[in-house]
């Protein structure tokens, strides 16, 4: 009998041609005074047609491109970005990653994402600087205590690390919190996810971009999509852009705050509202905080960057907006809250403030999957907390694009849930940014 090797499922993986970063390549390049590093990705001219067009060069779009090539051998793909890579929310977020969600659907999805983060630097050969320093949610009232216990148990039933922390231990871990009896926001305890933490946002975008490019994906910056074209039968035919028309049978909208604007180009209405979300960074100080601290009650959260700055996020701006700047009342509330929580910071100066436009769904859960238009796919509605979702979002969305069916982990997050009444209400886990 002739021996035949078993057929390989899905064929051979695509080749990834890139200059690997390692201690050896660092030494080699040091000898030539670092003048011979190759660019991390090409800047190609758009081709007339692709198999898949991804609109939006943020983390989610770039991750989708990476996994399309890596897991599904589809690399005739263009990522079209109207500005620069990661210049949207990916480069504006406060980089908290965690998987402490209440409902099973969210827990399964965000936990997958955290697991992908844990090996992402190796997968991409790019240091995303994941720092699992722990994430502490503060409880200021009996209600919050009950809720924290419920969430801790729900998470543990889903196999996700979660601890309830007593008031004394919260103060031990976060010594600068106001734990006095007259504190404006009394401290009752905390909910801790030790595997939560922060990662470097730009590195996530750049690492996915470099890998996708090495698989052959065209990343095209300064290319705004201005129209979505459909053929006579209504199917997707391609897009119009500021750099000309490009054909593709599949178009994926991964445009965060602009999801509704792009969907409207294909005649689709979405349950999304776009709001500014702001963040602030203080002047650098000595190490004072080695976990991420979040208070949902007073709408503020804070972590300390490697440079020593306090990175602070706040609540959503109150009205809808596409102007990428935040309003002052929100900053005032945020500063008032942070000073009450950490009296020691009252004289810190703020260095920078900015806003991103986030896309909010009524249930604070994303929309990811197919649309009523054949060939059009949507990945949006990540609102205030999609950075942590970046790898799993790309992983699952690539599956949907390749196979034209939802990935089991993201199937519940379809657009039909709004008419089917199957909302996944995560407003408690996601109502505040991060």
Partner 1 sequence: MLLINCPWCGPRDEIEFTCGGEAHIARPADPAALSDQEWAEYLFMRKNLKGLHYERWHHSYGCRQWFNAARDTVTHEIHATYKMGETPPVVAGEDGVVKGGNS
The answer to whether the CB of 401 falls within 8 A of the CB of 253 is no
* From candidates 52, 55, 65, 248, binder to ligand FAD by CB under 6 A: 55
Draw the binding track, 404-423, toward partner 1 (x: CB under 8 A; -: no contact): --------------xxxx--
Nearest Cα residue to 433 out of 276, 286, 291: 276
User: Is 269 among the residues that bind partner 1 (CB under 8 A)?
Assistant: yes
Instruction: Please report whether residue 57 would count as binding ligand FAD according to CB under 6 A.
Output: yes
Which CB, 100 or 260, lies closer to partner 1? 260
Give the C-alpha distances (Å, rounded to integers) separating 359 from 120, 312, 368, 424: 26, 20, 13, 16
CA–CA dist 356, 358 (Å, integer): 6
Out of partner 1, ligand FAD, none, what residue 270 binds, judged by CB under 5 to 8 A for its kind, is partner 1
Kindly identify the residues of this chain, within the stretch 243-302, that bind ligand FAD according to CB under 6 A: 254-256, 258, 262, 277-279
Q: Which residues contact 165 (CB under 8 A, 6 or more apart)?
A: 136, 173, 189, 190, 191, 192
Site residues for partner 1, 340-369, by CB under 8 A, read: 362
Residues contacting partner 1: total by CB under 8 A:
24
Residue 31, CA distances (Å) to 20, 26, 28, 135 in order: 17, 9, 5, 42
Among 327, 354, 428, 431, binds partner 1 (CB under 8 A): 327
Residue 87's binding partner out of partner 1, ligand FAD, none, with CB under 5 to 8 Å set by partner kind: ligand FAD
What is the distance between the alpha carbons of residues 300 and 294, in angstroms, rounded to a whole number? 6
Q: Which is nearer to ligand FAD, 64 or 162 (CB)?
A: 64
User: Residue 269 binds what, of partner 1, ligand FAD, none (CB under 5 to 8 Å, by partner type)?
Assistant: partner 1
Please report whether residue 273 would count as binding partner 1 according to CB under 8 A.
yes
Q: What are the DSSP calls for 304-316, one per residue?
A: E-TTSPEEEEEEE
Taking the complex as a whole, the smallest distance from the CB of residue 68 to ligand FAD amounts, in Å, to 15
Can you read off the two tokens belonging to residue 152?
């801790």
Mutual angle of helices 390-403 and 59-72, in 10-degree steps = 50
Residue 260 touches which of ligand FAD, partner 1, none (Cβ within 5-8 Å per kind): partner 1
Question: Closer to partner 1 at the Cβ: 191 or 253?
Answer: 253
Q: Does residue 320 touch partner 1 according to CB under 8 A?
A: yes
Please say whether the dihedral angle defined by the alpha carbons of residues 81, 254, 270 and 430, taken in this order, is positive or negative.
negative
Partner whose footprint covers residue 52, from ligand FAD, partner 1, none (CB < 5 to 8 Å by kind):
none
196 makes contact with ligand FAD (CB under 6 A): no
**Residue of 50, 101, 215, 382 interacting with ligand FAD (CB under 6 A):** 382
Beta carbons within 8 Å of 156's beta carbon, 6+ residues apart: 162
279 binds, among ligand FAD, partner 1, none (CB under 5 to 8 A by kind): ligand FAD
DSSP bridge pairs for 58: none
Least Cβ distance, residue 342 to ligand FAD (angstroms): 18
Helices of type H across 299-423: 328-341, 390-403, 417-420
Nearer to ligand FAD by C-beta: 342 or 387? 387
Q: Write out the H or E segment, with its range, that includes residue 125.
A: none
Which ranges constitute the DSSP H helices of 360-432?
A: 390-403, 417-420, 427-430
| Residue 183 to residue 365: CA distance in whole angstroms | 34
Q: Which of 320, 376, 290, 389 is nearest to 58 (CA)?
A: 389
* Site membership for partner 1, residue 260 (CB under 8 A): yes
329 binds, among ligand FAD, partner 1, none (CB under 5 to 8 A by kind): partner 1
CA angle 214, 220, 225 (to 5 degrees): 140
* Residues at the contact surface with ligand FAD, assessed by CB under 6 A: 55-61, 80-83, 87-90, 92-96, 224-225, 254-256, 258, 262, 277-279, 313, 356, 358, 382, 384-388, 433-434
* Residues at the contact surface with partner 1, assessed by CB under 8 A: 258, 260-261, 264, 269-274, 318-323, 327-329, 362, 418-421
């Amino acid at each position: 009998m002739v021996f035949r090797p078993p057929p390989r499922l899905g064929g051979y993986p695509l080749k990834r041609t890139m200059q690997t970063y390692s201690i050896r390549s660092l030494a080699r390049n040091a000898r030539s005074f670092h003048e011979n590093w190759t660019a991390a990705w090409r800047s190609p001219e758009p081709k007339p047609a692709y198999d898949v067009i991804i609109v939006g060069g943020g983390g989610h779009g770039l991750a989708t491109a990476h996994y399309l090539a890596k897991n599904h051998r589809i690399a005739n793909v263009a990522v079209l970005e109207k500005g620069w890579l990661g210049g949207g929310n990916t480069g504006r977020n406060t980089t908290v990653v965690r998987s402490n969600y209440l409902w099973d659907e969210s827990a399964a999805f965000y936990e997958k994402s955290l697991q992908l983060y844990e090996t992402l630097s190796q997968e991409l050969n790019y240091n995303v600087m994941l720092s699992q320093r722990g994430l502490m949610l503060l409880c200021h009232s009996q209600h919050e205590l009950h809720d924290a216990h419920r969430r801790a148990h729900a998470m543990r039933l889903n196999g996700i690390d979660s601890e309830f922390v007593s008031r004394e231990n919260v103060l031990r871990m976060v010594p600068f919190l106001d734990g006095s009896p007259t504190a404006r926001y009394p401290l009752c305890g905390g909910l801790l996810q030790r595997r939560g933490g922060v990662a470097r946002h730009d590195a996530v975008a750049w690492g996915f971009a470099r890998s996708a490019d090495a698989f052959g994906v065209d990343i095209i910056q300064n290319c705004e999509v201005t129209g979505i074209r459909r053929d006579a039968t209504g199917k997707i035919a391609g897009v119009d852009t500021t750099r000309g028309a490009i054909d593709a049978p599949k178009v994926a909208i991964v445009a965060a705050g602009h999801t509704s604007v792009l969907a409207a180009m294909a005649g689709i209405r979405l349950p999304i509202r776009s709001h500014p979300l702001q963040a602030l960074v203080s002047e650098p100080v000595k190490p004072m905080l080695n976990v991420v601290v979040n208070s949902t009650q007073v709408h503020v959260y804070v972590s300390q960057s490697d440079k020593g700055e306090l990175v602070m996020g706040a609540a959503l701006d109150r009205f809808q907006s596409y102007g990428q700047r935040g309003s002052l009342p929100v900053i005032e509330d945020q500063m008032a809250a942070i000073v009450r929580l950490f009296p020691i910071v009252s004289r810190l100066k703020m260095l920078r403030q900015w806003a991103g436009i986030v896309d909010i769904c009524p249930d604070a859960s994303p929309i990811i999957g197919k649309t009523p238009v054949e060939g059009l796919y949507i990945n949006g509605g990540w609102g205030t907390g999609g950075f942590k979702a970046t790898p799993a979002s790309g992983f699952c969305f690539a599956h949907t694009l390749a196979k034209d069916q939802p990935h089991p982990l993201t199937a519940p997050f379809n657009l039909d849930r709004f008419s089917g009444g199957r909302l996944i209400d995560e407003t408690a886990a996601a109502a505040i940014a991060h």
